[in-house]
Protein backbone atom coordinates (compact mmCIF):
# COMPACT_ATOMS: atom_id res chain seq x y z
CA UNK A 1 0.00 0.00 0.00
CA UNK A 2 2.73 2.42 1.04
CA UNK A 3 4.58 1.58 -2.15
CA UNK A 4 1.60 2.38 -4.31
CA UNK A 5 1.22 5.73 -2.62
CA UNK A 6 4.89 6.50 -3.08
CA UNK A 7 4.53 5.83 -6.79
CA UNK A 8 1.42 7.90 -6.75
CA UNK A 9 3.35 10.81 -5.23
CA UNK A 10 5.96 10.63 -7.93
CA UNK A 11 3.37 10.34 -10.62
CA UNK A 12 1.47 13.28 -9.24
CA UNK A 13 4.61 15.35 -9.32
CA UNK A 14 5.22 14.45 -12.95
CA UNK A 15 1.64 15.26 -13.82
CA UNK A 16 1.83 18.62 -12.06
CA UNK A 17 4.97 19.48 -13.95
CA UNK A 18 3.41 18.43 -17.22
CA UNK A 19 0.32 20.53 -16.60
CA UNK A 20 2.31 23.53 -15.41
CA UNK A 21 4.46 23.44 -18.56
CA UNK A 22 1.39 23.32 -20.75
CA UNK A 23 -0.38 25.98 -18.71
CA UNK A 24 -3.14 23.55 -17.73
CA UNK A 25 -2.96 23.38 -13.94
CA UNK A 26 -6.69 24.06 -13.67
CA UNK A 27 -7.17 20.37 -14.41
CA UNK A 28 -6.24 19.67 -10.78
CA UNK A 29 -8.48 22.36 -9.31
CA UNK A 30 -10.82 19.90 -7.59
CA UNK A 31 -8.00 17.67 -6.31
CA UNK A 32 -8.78 18.26 -2.63
CA UNK A 33 -12.36 17.04 -3.14
CA UNK A 34 -11.43 13.79 -4.87
CA UNK A 35 -11.45 10.32 -3.33
CA UNK A 36 -8.33 8.21 -3.48
CA UNK A 37 -9.76 6.23 -6.41
CA UNK A 38 -10.66 9.37 -8.31
CA UNK A 39 -7.20 10.80 -7.74
CA UNK A 40 -5.62 7.66 -9.06
CA UNK A 41 -7.92 7.69 -12.08
CA UNK A 42 -7.04 11.26 -12.94
CA UNK A 43 -3.30 10.73 -12.59
CA UNK A 44 -3.49 7.56 -14.63
CA UNK A 45 -5.27 9.42 -17.38
CA UNK A 46 -2.81 12.32 -17.49
CA UNK A 47 0.43 10.43 -17.09
CA UNK A 48 0.77 9.16 -20.67
CA UNK A 49 0.35 12.61 -22.23
CA UNK A 50 3.58 13.78 -23.80
CA UNK A 51 4.78 17.04 -22.26
CA UNK A 52 5.66 18.93 -25.46
CA UNK A 53 2.77 17.35 -27.28
CA UNK A 54 0.18 18.55 -24.81
CA UNK A 55 1.36 22.14 -24.92
CA UNK A 56 1.51 22.17 -28.71
CA UNK A 57 -1.90 20.56 -28.92
CA UNK A 58 -3.58 23.14 -26.68
CA UNK A 59 -1.91 26.05 -28.42
CA UNK A 60 -2.76 24.77 -31.87
CA UNK A 61 -6.38 24.26 -30.88
CA UNK A 62 -6.55 27.77 -29.52
CA UNK A 63 -5.05 29.25 -32.69
CA UNK A 64 -7.34 27.18 -34.87
CA UNK A 65 -10.41 28.38 -33.01
CA UNK A 66 -9.34 31.99 -33.49
CA UNK A 67 -8.61 31.66 -37.21
CA UNK A 68 -10.32 28.84 -39.07
CA UNK A 69 -8.18 27.17 -41.73
CA UNK A 70 -7.99 29.30 -44.86
CA UNK A 71 -9.75 27.75 -47.82
CA UNK A 72 -6.61 27.55 -49.94
CA UNK A 73 -8.62 25.89 -52.64
CA UNK A 74 -8.06 27.98 -55.68
CA UNK A 75 -5.58 25.51 -57.08
CA UNK A 76 -7.84 22.48 -56.78
CA UNK A 77 -8.18 20.31 -59.84
CA UNK A 78 -10.18 17.16 -60.53
CA UNK A 79 -8.25 13.86 -60.52
CA UNK A 80 -6.71 13.22 -63.94
CA UNK A 81 -8.30 10.60 -66.17
CA UNK A 82 -5.28 8.30 -66.22
CA UNK A 83 -5.55 7.52 -62.50
CA UNK A 84 -9.29 7.14 -62.72
CA UNK A 85 -11.09 3.87 -63.39
CA UNK A 86 -14.80 3.42 -63.63
CA UNK A 87 -16.84 0.27 -63.19
CA UNK A 88 -19.67 1.63 -65.28
CA UNK A 89 -17.49 2.67 -68.19
CA UNK A 90 -15.12 -0.29 -68.37
CA UNK A 91 -15.86 -3.27 -70.57
CA UNK A 92 -16.69 -6.61 -68.95
CA UNK A 93 -13.41 -8.19 -70.01
CA UNK A 94 -11.35 -5.55 -68.24
CA UNK A 95 -13.55 -5.79 -65.18
CA UNK A 96 -13.15 -9.52 -64.97
CA UNK A 97 -9.40 -9.31 -65.43
CA UNK A 98 -9.24 -6.98 -62.41
CA UNK A 99 -11.53 -9.28 -60.51
CA UNK A 100 -9.52 -12.39 -61.33
CA UNK A 101 -6.38 -10.72 -60.13
CA UNK A 102 -8.13 -9.80 -56.86
CA UNK A 103 -9.55 -13.29 -56.30
CA UNK A 104 -6.10 -14.74 -56.72
CA UNK A 105 -4.67 -12.42 -54.06
CA UNK A 106 -7.54 -13.16 -51.68
CA UNK A 107 -7.12 -16.89 -52.17
CA UNK A 108 -3.45 -16.58 -51.29
CA UNK A 109 -4.34 -14.86 -48.02
CA UNK A 110 -2.56 -11.72 -49.09
CA UNK A 111 -5.54 -9.43 -48.47
CA UNK A 112 -6.85 -8.09 -45.15
CA UNK A 113 -9.60 -5.68 -44.22
CA UNK A 114 -9.39 -2.93 -41.64
CA UNK A 115 -12.43 -1.38 -40.06
CA UNK A 116 -12.44 2.13 -38.65
CA UNK A 117 -14.81 1.80 -35.72
CA UNK A 118 -13.69 4.17 -33.00
CA UNK A 119 -16.37 6.77 -33.60
CA UNK A 120 -18.93 7.85 -31.05
CA UNK A 121 -22.06 7.69 -33.17
CA UNK A 122 -23.09 11.16 -31.98
CA UNK A 123 -25.14 11.99 -35.06
CA UNK A 124 -26.87 8.63 -34.96
CA UNK A 125 -27.57 9.24 -31.29
CA UNK A 126 -26.55 5.88 -29.85
CA UNK A 127 -24.22 5.32 -26.93
CA UNK A 128 -22.89 2.02 -28.24
CA UNK A 129 -20.69 1.19 -31.23
CA UNK A 130 -22.37 1.93 -34.57
CA UNK A 131 -21.49 -1.52 -35.86
CA UNK A 132 -23.88 -3.00 -33.30
CA UNK A 133 -26.77 -1.08 -34.81
CA UNK A 134 -29.70 -3.12 -36.09
CA UNK A 135 -31.20 -1.19 -38.99
CA UNK A 136 -34.38 -3.24 -39.02
CA UNK A 137 -33.67 -5.78 -41.73
CA UNK A 138 -35.93 -8.86 -41.80
CA UNK A 139 -32.97 -10.90 -40.51
CA UNK A 140 -32.26 -8.44 -37.68
CA UNK A 141 -28.57 -8.46 -38.62
CA UNK A 142 -26.31 -5.69 -37.39
CA UNK A 143 -23.69 -3.91 -39.50
CA UNK A 144 -20.95 -5.96 -37.84
CA UNK A 145 -22.72 -9.21 -38.70
CA UNK A 146 -23.21 -8.26 -42.35
CA UNK A 147 -19.54 -7.42 -42.62
CA UNK A 148 -18.45 -10.63 -40.89
CA UNK A 149 -20.58 -12.76 -43.20
CA UNK A 150 -19.23 -11.01 -46.28
CA UNK A 151 -15.74 -11.94 -45.13
CA UNK A 152 -16.82 -15.57 -44.71
CA UNK A 153 -18.28 -15.53 -48.20
CA UNK A 154 -15.35 -13.87 -49.92
CA UNK A 155 -13.03 -16.46 -48.36
CA UNK A 156 -15.26 -19.27 -49.49
CA UNK A 157 -15.58 -17.95 -53.05
CA UNK A 158 -11.83 -17.44 -53.35
CA UNK A 159 -11.25 -20.97 -52.07
CA UNK A 160 -13.65 -22.53 -54.51
CA UNK A 161 -12.05 -20.69 -57.43
CA UNK A 162 -8.52 -21.63 -56.49
CA UNK A 163 -8.84 -24.77 -54.39
CA UNK A 164 -7.30 -23.02 -51.40
CA UNK A 165 -8.09 -22.56 -47.72
CA UNK A 166 -7.55 -18.84 -47.34
CA UNK A 167 -8.23 -16.33 -44.64
CA UNK A 168 -8.95 -12.62 -44.74
CA UNK A 169 -7.94 -11.19 -41.38
CA UNK A 170 -10.20 -8.49 -40.01
CA UNK A 171 -8.44 -5.68 -38.17
CA UNK A 172 -10.79 -3.52 -36.16
CA UNK A 173 -9.69 -0.15 -34.86
CA UNK A 174 -11.77 0.79 -31.84
CA UNK A 175 -11.47 3.51 -29.23
CA UNK A 176 -12.06 3.86 -25.53
CA UNK A 177 -15.73 4.29 -26.45
CA UNK A 178 -16.09 1.16 -28.48
CA UNK A 179 -13.45 -1.43 -27.58
CA UNK A 180 -14.98 -3.36 -24.71
CA UNK A 181 -18.50 -3.40 -26.10
CA UNK A 182 -17.28 -4.44 -29.52
CA UNK A 183 -15.23 -7.21 -27.94
CA UNK A 184 -18.06 -8.61 -25.89
CA UNK A 185 -20.50 -8.31 -28.80
CA UNK A 186 -18.19 -10.41 -30.95
CA UNK A 187 -17.74 -12.95 -28.18
CA UNK A 188 -21.46 -13.24 -27.51
CA UNK A 189 -21.96 -13.91 -31.21
CA UNK A 190 -19.12 -16.43 -31.59
CA UNK A 191 -17.43 -13.96 -33.93
CA UNK A 192 -20.25 -14.60 -36.39
CA UNK A 193 -18.57 -17.79 -37.49
CA UNK A 194 -15.16 -16.27 -38.16
CA UNK A 195 -12.04 -17.74 -36.69
CA UNK A 196 -11.39 -15.51 -33.63
CA UNK A 197 -7.67 -15.56 -34.31
CA UNK A 198 -8.38 -13.74 -37.58
CA UNK A 199 -10.21 -10.90 -35.83
CA UNK A 200 -7.72 -8.43 -34.40
CA UNK A 201 -9.03 -5.52 -32.34
CA UNK A 202 -6.91 -2.61 -31.25
CA UNK A 203 -7.46 0.83 -29.83
CA UNK A 204 -6.75 4.27 -31.21
CA UNK A 205 -5.53 7.09 -28.99
CA UNK A 206 -7.68 9.63 -27.25
CA UNK A 207 -6.73 13.29 -27.12
CA UNK A 208 -7.95 16.07 -24.81
CA UNK A 209 -10.81 18.32 -25.90
CA UNK A 210 -9.98 21.95 -25.35
CA UNK A 211 -11.95 25.18 -24.85
CA UNK A 212 -11.67 28.08 -27.29
CA UNK A 213 -9.00 29.65 -25.10
CA UNK A 214 -6.89 26.52 -25.18
CA UNK A 215 -7.78 25.00 -21.80
CA UNK A 216 -8.46 21.29 -21.38
CA UNK A 217 -12.11 20.74 -20.51
CA UNK A 218 -13.05 18.55 -17.55
CA UNK A 219 -15.72 15.98 -18.13
CA UNK A 220 -15.79 15.13 -14.42
CA UNK A 221 -13.79 16.56 -11.57
CA UNK A 222 -11.55 13.51 -11.94
CA UNK A 223 -11.65 13.07 -15.70
CA UNK A 224 -10.65 15.25 -18.60
CA UNK A 225 -12.85 15.46 -21.69
CA UNK A 226 -11.23 13.49 -24.48
CA UNK A 227 -12.13 12.34 -27.96
CA UNK A 228 -10.64 9.75 -30.30
CA UNK A 229 -7.91 11.26 -32.48
CA UNK A 230 -9.95 10.85 -35.68
CA UNK A 231 -9.86 8.04 -38.21
CA UNK A 232 -6.38 9.26 -39.20
CA UNK A 233 -5.35 8.13 -35.74
CA UNK A 234 -5.05 4.83 -37.59
CA UNK A 235 -1.38 5.36 -38.37
CA UNK A 236 -0.31 5.97 -34.79
CA UNK A 237 -2.50 3.10 -33.66
CA UNK A 238 -0.93 0.73 -36.22
CA UNK A 239 2.44 1.48 -34.61
CA UNK A 240 1.24 1.46 -31.01
CA UNK A 241 -0.27 -1.98 -31.51
CA UNK A 242 2.22 -3.64 -33.88
CA UNK A 243 -0.47 -4.19 -36.45
CA UNK A 244 1.85 -3.97 -39.45
CA UNK A 245 4.02 -6.62 -37.87
CA UNK A 246 0.95 -8.80 -37.47
CA UNK A 247 0.15 -8.29 -41.14
CA UNK A 248 3.68 -9.15 -42.14
CA UNK A 249 3.71 -12.34 -40.12
CA UNK A 250 0.47 -13.46 -41.78
CA UNK A 251 1.73 -12.60 -45.25
CA UNK A 252 -0.91 -9.90 -45.74
CA UNK A 253 0.34 -7.45 -48.34
CA UNK A 254 -2.80 -5.50 -49.22
CA UNK A 255 -5.35 -3.86 -47.03
CA UNK A 256 -8.81 -2.53 -47.67
CA UNK A 257 -9.64 0.11 -45.07
CA UNK A 258 -13.26 1.17 -44.60
CA UNK A 259 -15.73 2.95 -42.32
CA UNK A 260 -18.22 1.03 -40.21
CA UNK A 261 -21.34 2.80 -41.39
CA UNK A 262 -21.71 1.86 -45.07
CA UNK A 263 -24.25 -0.96 -45.18
CA UNK A 264 -23.29 -1.90 -48.76
CA UNK A 265 -19.54 -2.17 -48.20
CA UNK A 266 -17.91 -5.04 -50.09
CA UNK A 267 -15.34 -6.71 -47.90
CA UNK A 268 -11.94 -7.38 -49.46
CA UNK A 269 -13.50 -6.47 -52.79
CA UNK A 270 -11.54 -8.49 -55.36
CA UNK A 271 -12.36 -6.05 -58.14
CA UNK A 272 -11.01 -3.06 -56.24
CA UNK A 273 -7.91 -4.93 -55.08
CA UNK A 274 -7.27 -6.18 -58.61
CA UNK A 275 -7.82 -2.74 -60.10
CA UNK A 276 -5.31 -1.14 -57.73
CA UNK A 277 -2.75 -3.88 -58.34
CA UNK A 278 -3.12 -3.74 -62.10
CA UNK A 279 -2.27 -0.02 -61.91
CA UNK A 280 0.73 -0.70 -59.67
CA UNK A 281 -0.81 1.51 -56.99
CA UNK A 282 0.35 1.78 -53.40
CA UNK A 283 -2.77 3.64 -52.40
CA UNK A 284 -6.27 3.94 -53.82
CA UNK A 285 -9.76 5.18 -53.12
CA UNK A 286 -13.24 4.19 -54.18
CA UNK A 287 -15.55 7.01 -55.09
CA UNK A 288 -19.10 7.54 -56.26
CA UNK A 289 -20.47 10.43 -58.27
CA UNK A 290 -21.67 13.03 -55.83
CA UNK A 291 -25.45 13.18 -55.56
CA UNK A 292 -25.69 16.94 -55.08
CA UNK A 293 -23.21 19.76 -54.39
CA UNK A 294 -23.64 19.93 -50.63
CA UNK A 295 -23.69 16.17 -50.07
CA UNK A 296 -21.59 15.52 -46.94
CA UNK A 297 -18.85 13.50 -48.61
CA UNK A 298 -15.24 14.45 -49.13
CA UNK A 299 -14.07 14.87 -52.72
CA UNK A 300 -11.00 13.23 -54.17
CA UNK A 301 -9.05 15.82 -56.15
CA UNK A 302 -5.61 17.29 -56.71
CA UNK A 303 -3.87 20.30 -55.33
CA UNK A 304 -0.63 21.36 -56.93
CA UNK A 305 -0.52 18.02 -58.74
CA UNK A 306 -0.87 16.04 -55.51
CA UNK A 307 -3.82 13.74 -54.87
CA UNK A 308 -5.85 14.34 -51.77
CA UNK A 309 -9.33 14.50 -50.33
CA UNK A 310 -10.95 17.78 -49.42
CA UNK A 311 -13.46 17.06 -46.68
CA UNK A 312 -17.04 18.29 -46.97
CA UNK A 313 -16.60 20.41 -43.88
CA UNK A 314 -13.76 22.30 -45.53
CA UNK A 315 -14.56 22.61 -49.21
CA UNK A 316 -16.83 25.66 -49.15
CA UNK A 317 -20.08 25.93 -51.11
CA UNK A 318 -18.56 27.89 -53.98
CA UNK A 319 -16.04 25.21 -54.88
CA UNK A 320 -18.52 22.41 -54.27
CA UNK A 321 -20.92 23.98 -56.76
CA UNK A 322 -18.44 24.51 -59.61
CA UNK A 323 -19.53 22.82 -62.81
CA UNK A 324 -17.74 21.58 -65.92
CA UNK A 325 -18.63 22.13 -69.59
CA UNK A 326 -21.37 19.48 -69.59
CA UNK A 327 -22.98 20.76 -66.44
CA UNK A 328 -21.47 17.99 -64.31
CA UNK A 329 -19.99 18.85 -60.94
CA UNK A 330 -16.34 19.71 -61.33
CA UNK A 331 -15.52 18.00 -58.02
CA UNK A 332 -17.66 14.98 -58.45
CA UNK A 333 -15.53 12.17 -57.02
CA UNK A 334 -17.28 11.54 -53.71
CA UNK A 335 -15.13 9.76 -51.14
CA UNK A 336 -16.91 6.72 -49.71
CA UNK A 337 -14.17 5.93 -47.23
CA UNK A 338 -13.03 2.70 -48.84
CA UNK A 339 -9.29 2.83 -49.32
CA UNK A 340 -6.59 0.51 -50.60
CA UNK A 341 -3.10 0.44 -49.13
CA UNK A 342 -0.13 -1.79 -49.64
CA UNK A 343 1.57 -2.88 -46.45
CA UNK A 344 4.78 -1.32 -47.72
CA UNK A 345 3.09 2.03 -48.09
CA UNK A 346 1.66 1.84 -44.57
CA UNK A 347 5.09 0.92 -43.28
CA UNK A 348 6.52 3.99 -44.91
CA UNK A 349 3.77 6.20 -43.54
CA UNK A 350 4.28 4.83 -40.05
CA UNK A 351 8.03 5.39 -40.23
CA UNK A 352 8.27 8.69 -42.04
CA UNK A 353 5.07 10.59 -42.47
CA UNK A 354 2.57 9.97 -39.73
CA UNK A 355 3.69 12.95 -37.67
CA UNK A 356 3.17 15.20 -40.65
CA UNK A 357 -0.56 14.61 -40.64
CA UNK A 358 -2.16 17.91 -39.71
CA UNK A 359 -5.11 17.70 -37.37
CA UNK A 360 -8.40 19.14 -38.55
CA UNK A 361 -10.41 21.26 -36.22
CA UNK A 362 -14.05 20.83 -35.35
CA UNK A 363 -15.95 23.15 -33.03
CA UNK A 364 -18.29 21.05 -30.90
CA UNK A 365 -20.66 21.16 -27.97
CA UNK A 366 -18.74 19.46 -25.21
CA UNK A 367 -20.35 18.97 -21.78
CA UNK A 368 -17.96 20.13 -19.05
CA UNK A 369 -17.46 20.98 -15.37
CA UNK A 370 -17.25 24.73 -14.84
CA UNK A 371 -15.00 26.53 -12.35
CA UNK A 372 -17.59 26.20 -9.59
CA UNK A 373 -17.77 22.45 -10.13
CA UNK A 374 -21.15 22.45 -11.88
CA UNK A 375 -21.86 20.21 -14.83
CA UNK A 376 -22.74 22.28 -17.90
CA UNK A 377 -24.37 21.02 -21.10
CA UNK A 378 -23.63 23.79 -23.57
CA UNK A 379 -26.25 24.87 -26.11
CA UNK A 380 -23.66 26.10 -28.58
CA UNK A 381 -20.16 25.05 -29.52
CA UNK A 382 -17.78 25.64 -26.65
CA UNK A 383 -14.85 23.44 -27.43
CA UNK A 384 -12.46 22.11 -30.00
CA UNK A 385 -11.90 18.58 -31.12
CA UNK A 386 -8.80 17.89 -33.17
CA UNK A 387 -9.05 15.01 -35.57
CA UNK A 388 -6.74 13.44 -38.06
CA UNK A 389 -8.21 12.14 -41.30
CA UNK A 390 -7.40 8.72 -42.70
CA UNK A 391 -7.10 10.03 -46.27
CA UNK A 392 -4.49 12.64 -45.40
CA UNK A 393 -1.77 10.14 -46.30
CA UNK A 394 -2.78 10.12 -49.97
CA UNK A 395 -0.31 12.90 -50.82
CA UNK A 396 2.55 10.62 -49.69
CA UNK A 397 1.70 7.85 -52.13
CA UNK A 398 3.72 7.30 -55.29
CA UNK A 399 0.94 5.85 -57.38
CA UNK A 400 -2.52 6.82 -56.32
CA UNK A 401 -5.58 5.56 -58.17
CA UNK A 402 -9.31 6.09 -57.99
CA UNK A 403 -12.07 3.65 -58.83
CA UNK A 404 -15.54 4.99 -59.41
CA UNK A 405 -18.25 2.53 -58.46
CA UNK A 406 -22.04 2.60 -58.78
CA UNK A 407 -23.58 4.15 -55.70
CA UNK A 408 -26.58 1.84 -55.62
CA UNK A 409 -24.25 -1.16 -55.35
CA UNK A 410 -21.67 0.20 -52.95
CA UNK A 411 -22.59 3.21 -50.86
CA UNK A 412 -25.31 3.90 -48.35
CA UNK A 413 -23.98 5.17 -45.03
CA UNK A 414 -25.70 5.22 -41.67
CA UNK A 415 -24.92 8.64 -40.21
CA UNK A 416 -28.09 10.13 -38.76
CA UNK A 417 -30.98 9.18 -36.52
CA UNK A 418 -34.35 7.99 -37.81
CA UNK A 419 -36.48 10.87 -38.98
CA UNK A 420 -33.60 12.87 -40.43
CA UNK A 421 -33.49 13.62 -44.15
CA UNK A 422 -30.84 11.21 -45.33
CA UNK A 423 -28.38 8.50 -44.37
CA UNK A 424 -30.57 7.13 -41.58
CA UNK A 425 -31.68 3.61 -40.58
CA UNK A 426 -34.56 3.57 -43.07
CA UNK A 427 -32.55 4.80 -46.02
CA UNK A 428 -29.75 2.28 -45.49
CA UNK A 429 -32.21 -0.57 -44.94
CA UNK A 430 -33.98 0.34 -48.17
CA UNK A 431 -30.71 0.56 -50.08
CA UNK A 432 -29.88 -2.99 -49.10
CA UNK A 433 -33.35 -4.40 -49.74
CA UNK A 434 -33.54 -2.63 -53.10
CA UNK A 435 -30.14 -3.96 -54.08
CA UNK A 436 -31.14 -7.51 -53.20
CA UNK A 437 -34.44 -7.15 -55.03
CA UNK A 438 -32.47 -6.08 -58.08
CA UNK A 439 -30.18 -9.11 -57.73
CA UNK A 440 -33.13 -11.47 -57.40
CA UNK A 441 -34.86 -10.04 -60.43
CA UNK A 442 -31.81 -10.13 -62.63
CA UNK A 443 -31.31 -13.75 -61.56
CA UNK A 444 -34.70 -14.40 -63.11
CA UNK A 445 -37.08 -14.42 -60.14
CA UNK A 446 -40.61 -13.12 -60.46
CA UNK A 447 -41.47 -11.29 -57.27
CA UNK A 448 -44.90 -10.63 -55.85
CA UNK A 449 -45.67 -8.16 -53.14
CA UNK A 450 -47.86 -9.09 -50.19
CA UNK A 451 -51.00 -8.33 -52.24
CA UNK A 452 -50.00 -10.79 -54.94
CA UNK A 453 -49.06 -8.09 -57.44
CA UNK A 454 -45.90 -8.29 -59.47
CA UNK A 455 -43.05 -6.17 -58.24
CA UNK A 456 -42.04 -4.35 -61.39
CA UNK A 457 -39.81 -1.40 -60.64
CA UNK A 458 -36.32 -1.90 -59.40
CA UNK A 459 -36.62 0.74 -56.77
CA UNK A 460 -40.05 0.03 -55.39
CA UNK A 461 -40.30 0.47 -51.63
CA UNK A 462 -42.57 -2.52 -51.56
CA UNK A 463 -39.80 -4.78 -52.79
CA UNK A 464 -38.44 -6.51 -49.71
CA UNK A 465 -35.80 -9.07 -50.53
CA UNK A 466 -32.93 -9.73 -48.19
CA UNK A 467 -30.24 -12.13 -49.29
CA UNK A 468 -27.79 -13.38 -46.71
CA UNK A 469 -24.16 -12.62 -47.53
CA UNK A 470 -23.60 -16.32 -46.85
CA UNK A 471 -25.71 -17.04 -49.93
CA UNK A 472 -24.39 -14.35 -52.25
CA UNK A 473 -21.54 -11.85 -51.99
CA UNK A 474 -22.50 -9.52 -54.81
CA UNK A 475 -25.36 -11.11 -56.69
CA UNK A 476 -23.51 -14.21 -57.96
CA UNK A 477 -24.90 -17.72 -57.66
CA UNK A 478 -28.54 -16.72 -57.54
CA UNK A 479 -29.71 -17.94 -60.93
CA UNK A 480 -29.63 -21.59 -59.98
CA UNK A 481 -31.84 -20.76 -57.00
CA UNK A 482 -34.20 -18.21 -58.45
CA UNK A 483 -34.49 -18.50 -62.23
CA UNK A 484 -38.08 -18.91 -63.32
CA UNK A 485 -39.52 -18.89 -59.83
CA UNK A 486 -42.38 -16.85 -58.48
CA UNK A 487 -41.72 -15.77 -54.94
CA UNK A 488 -43.64 -13.65 -52.47
CA UNK A 489 -41.97 -10.80 -50.64
CA UNK A 490 -40.91 -10.07 -47.98
CA UNK A 491 -38.38 -12.74 -48.82
CA UNK A 492 -35.46 -13.65 -46.63
CA UNK A 493 -33.09 -15.74 -48.68
CA UNK A 494 -30.77 -17.23 -46.09
CA UNK A 495 -28.86 -20.50 -46.24
CA UNK A 496 -31.85 -22.51 -45.05
CA UNK A 497 -34.12 -21.06 -47.69
CA UNK A 498 -31.42 -21.56 -50.31
CA UNK A 499 -31.14 -25.25 -49.45
CA UNK A 500 -34.90 -25.58 -49.63
CA UNK A 501 -35.05 -23.95 -53.07
CA UNK A 502 -32.22 -26.10 -54.31
CA UNK A 503 -33.88 -29.33 -53.24
CA UNK A 504 -37.12 -28.28 -54.94
CA UNK A 505 -35.17 -27.79 -58.17
CA UNK A 506 -33.88 -31.32 -58.07
CA UNK A 507 -37.36 -32.86 -58.06
C1 LIG B 1 -12.45 11.91 -42.31
C2 LIG B 1 -13.22 10.99 -43.20
O3 LIG B 1 -12.80 9.89 -43.46
N4 LIG B 1 -14.37 11.47 -43.68
C5 LIG B 1 -15.21 10.65 -44.54
C6 LIG B 1 -16.32 10.04 -43.70
O7 LIG B 1 -17.12 11.07 -43.18
P8 LIG B 1 -17.71 11.10 -41.71
O9 LIG B 1 -18.66 12.25 -41.68
O10 LIG B 1 -16.52 11.34 -40.85
O11 LIG B 1 -18.36 9.80 -41.42
O12 LIG B 1 -17.13 9.21 -44.52
C13 LIG B 1 -17.71 9.85 -45.66
C14 LIG B 1 -18.47 8.81 -46.44
O15 LIG B 1 -19.46 8.24 -45.69
C16 LIG B 1 -16.63 10.49 -46.52
O17 LIG B 1 -17.19 11.17 -47.60
C18 LIG B 1 -15.81 11.45 -45.68
O19 LIG B 1 -14.81 12.02 -46.47
- Average pLDDT over every residue of 191-211: 96
Q: Tell me, using a 6 A CB cutoff, whether residue 311 lines ligand 1.
A: yes
Q: Are 296 and 384 in contact (CB under 8 A)?
A: no
Closest ligand 1 atom to 298 CA = 19
What pLDDT score does 355 carry?
Answer: 86
What pLDDT score does 74 carry?
Answer: 65
Q: What is the pLDDT of residues 37-47, one digit of tens each?
A: 999 999 999 99
Closest ligand 1 atom to 335 CA = 17
Distance in Å, CA 297 to ligand 1 centroid: 6
Closest ligand 1 atom to 311 CA = 19
**Model pTM score:** 0.94
Q: Are 450 and 489 in contact (CB under 8 A)?
A: yes
H or E element: which one contains 250? helix 243-250
Please, what is the average pLDDT of the chain? 93
Q: Tell me, using a 6 A CB cutoff, whether residue 413 lines ligand 1.
A: yes
- Average pLDDT over every residue of 153-168: 98
* Residues in CB range of 297: below 8 A, 6 or more apart: 288, 290, 312, 334, 335, 336
Distance in Å, CA 432 to ligand 1 centroid: 20
Q: What is the rounded (10 degree) CA torsion for 223, 47, 115, 134? A: -20
Which residues are paired to 206 by β-bridges? 228
Gyration radius (Cα) of the chain, Å: 25
Report the candidate in 155, 151, 206, 152 with the shortest Cα–Cα distance to residue 178: 206
Q: What are phi and psi of 196, to 5 degrees?
A: -55, -30
Q: Tell me, using a 6 A CB cutoff, whether residue 493 lines ligand 1.
A: no
Q: Tell me, using a 6 A CB cutoff, whether residue 337 lines ligand 1.
A: yes
Q: What is the pLDDT of residues 180-196, one digit of tens each?
A: 999 999 999 999 999 99
What pLDDT score does 64 carry?
Answer: 79
What pLDDT score does 89 carry?
Answer: 94
Omega prior to 22 cis, within 30 of 0: no
What pLDDT score does 1 carry?
Answer: 46
Q: What is the pLDDT of residues 91-105, one digit of tens each?
A: 999 999 999 999 999
Neighbours of 261 (CB within 10 A): 23
Distance in Å, CA 298 to ligand 1 centroid: 6
Residue 70 in this model has a pLDDT that exceeds 90: no
Q: Are 19 and 46 in contact (CB under 8 A)?
A: yes
Q: Among 131, 259, 296, 386, name the best residue to mutate to test ligand 1's pocket (greatest count of ligand atoms within 8 A of Cβ).
A: 259
Closest ligand 1 atom to 230 CA = 1
pLDDT band at 62 (very low <50, low <70, confident <90, very high): confident
- Average pLDDT over every residue of 467-482: 97
Q: Tell me, using a 6 A CB cutoff, whether residue 239 lines ligand 1.
A: no
What pLDDT score does 461 carry?
Answer: 55
Distance in Å, CA 313 to ligand 1 centroid: 10
* Residue having the nearest C-alpha atom to atom 5 of ligand 1: 337
Q: Tell me, using a 6 A CB cutoff, whether residue 297 lines ligand 1.
A: yes
Omega prior to 490 cis, within 30 of 0: yes
Q: What is the pLDDT of residues 314-335, one digit of tens each?
A: 999 999 999 999 999 999 999 9
Residues shown for the chain: 507
What pLDDT score does 57 carry?
Answer: 87
Q: Among 286, 293, 298, name the best residue to mutate to test ligand 1's pocket (greatest count of ligand atoms within 8 A of Cβ).
A: 298
* Residue having the nearest C-alpha atom to atom 15 of ligand 1: 336
Q: Tell me, using a 6 A CB cutoff, whether residue 333 lines ligand 1.
A: no
Q: Which is higher by pLDDT, 2 or 142?
A: 142
Distance in Å, CA 337 to ligand 1 centroid: 6
Which residues are paired to 486 by β-bridges? 446
Q: Tell me, using a 6 A CB cutoff, whether residue 335 lines ligand 1.
A: yes
What pLDDT score does 65 carry?
Answer: 78
Closest ligand 1 atom to 297 CA = 17
Q: Tell me, using a 6 A CB cutoff, whether residue 259 lines ligand 1.
A: yes
Q: What is the pLDDT of residues 434-453, one digit of tens each?
A: 999 999 999 999 999 888 88
Q: Tell me, using a 6 A CB cutoff, whether residue 389 lines ligand 1.
A: yes
* Residue having the nearest C-alpha atom to atom 11 of ligand 1: 415
Q: What is the rounded (10 degree) CA torsion for 411, 414, 416, 417? A: 140
Domains of the chain: 2-49 (no CATH), 76-410 (3.90.550.10), 430-506 (2.10.10.100)
Q: Which is higher by pLDDT, 351 or 3?
A: 351
Distance in Å, CA 24 to ligand 1 centroid: 32
Query: In angstroms, rounded to a whole number, what is the distance separating the alpha carbons of residues 120 and 19?
Result: 27
Q: What is the pLDDT of residues 347-380, one digit of tens each?
A: 999 999 988 898 898 888 999 999 999 999 999 9
Amino acid sequence: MAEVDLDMDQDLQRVRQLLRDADQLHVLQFWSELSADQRRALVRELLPLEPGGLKAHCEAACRAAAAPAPGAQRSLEPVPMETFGSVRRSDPELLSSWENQGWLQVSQSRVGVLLLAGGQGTRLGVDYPKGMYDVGLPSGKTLYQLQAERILKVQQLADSRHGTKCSVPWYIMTSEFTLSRTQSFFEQNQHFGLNPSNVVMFEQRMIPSVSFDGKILLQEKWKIATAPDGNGGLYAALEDNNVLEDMRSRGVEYLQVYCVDNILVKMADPLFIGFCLSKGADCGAKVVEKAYPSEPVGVVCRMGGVSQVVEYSEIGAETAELRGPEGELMFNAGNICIHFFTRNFLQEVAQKFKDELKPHVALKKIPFIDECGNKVTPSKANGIKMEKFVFDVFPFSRTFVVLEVPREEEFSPLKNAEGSKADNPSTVRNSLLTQHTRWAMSAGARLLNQYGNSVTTHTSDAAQVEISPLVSYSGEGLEELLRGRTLTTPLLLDQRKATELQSQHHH
